[in-house]
Amino acid sequence: MKVYRIEFGQVNDGNDFTWILPDDKEEDFVFTSIDNWSNYTWYNSEVRKVKDDFFHASGAGIIAFDKKVCESDLYTILEMTGEIITVNHELYGDIYIYQCKNYLHVLDLENSKVDRYPFNNEISQVLDYKFHEHRLTSDSIFMIPESNEIFCYQGDNVDLEYDFKAIYEKHNFRGLIFIEV
């Protein structure tokens, strides 16, 4: 089994990604809930030469994507593991924002290396991930309660039709990087 942390960027340049933001004229935007995100027009925070298929939108467990992804077999995986809303982008028209809701208690705290806050002993950062493989479900994309990161995995209990990373690569999508942990 291989587990990957999903990050934004390009394989050749990890810092090269599209970050989208809401055009918040009233300054009342709330990043913690996607409930009102469709009320805003979104824009790229910087000029990009190449359009990505996936975009960074601030918030825990958030991935934004375009119509090409929406019409692919990745959409089913995203729909099964989270909430998807449609928002308007000033350049691209309709784009989609996904918030992962598939939290799994799969981090092996005994064997993982973590940093903790000194004042309350809660986990501040996971430095080395170890997972309870038997706790992983057939959904290949998930989050863990100990971090705000999205993961995917490949292994014997993931059908190819639900293998997020394999489908992403099959379609040659742009905008995400998969870091093996």
**β-pairing, 2-9 with 150-154?**
antiparallel
Q: Distance between CA 34 and CA 37 in Å, rounded?
A: 5
Answer whether 14's CB lies under 8 Å from 175's CB.
no
Q: Tell me what the mean pLDDT of segment 53-63 comes to.
A: 84
Residue 15 pLDDT class (50, 70, 90 cuts):
low
DSSP strand pairing (54-57 vs 19-22): parallel
- DSSP bridge pairs for 159: none
Question: Looking up tokens 């394999």, which residue turns up?
Answer: 166
Residue 49 has pLDDT above 70, yes or no: no
Asked if 45 and 93 touch (Cβ cutoff 8 Å), the reply is: no
Three-state SS at 162:
helix
Alpha-carbon 165 to chain mean position: 12
Burial status of residue 25 (CB atoms within 10 A of its CB: 0-12, 13-18, 19 or more):
exposed
Closest CA to 75 of 181, 148, 158, 173: 173
Looking at every residue in the chain, the average pLDDT score rounds to 87
* pLDDT, mean of residues 78-101: 93
More confident residue, 22 or 84: 84
**pLDDT classification of 158: cutoffs 50, 70, 90:** confident
Q: What is the pLDDT of residues 120-146, one digit of tens each?
A: 988 889 999 999 998 988 888 999 988
Strand (E) or helix (H) holding 166: helix 164-170
Judged by DSSP in three states, 86 sits in strand
Q: Say whether pLDDT at 17 is over 60.
A: yes
Reported as a pLDDT band with limits 50, 70 and 90, residue 100 is very high
Question: In 3D, which of 65, 73, 61, 70 has the Cα closest to residue 104?
Answer: 61
d(CA 180, CA 176): 13
Q: What residue type is 133 in one-letter code?
A: E
This model's pTM is above 0.85: yes
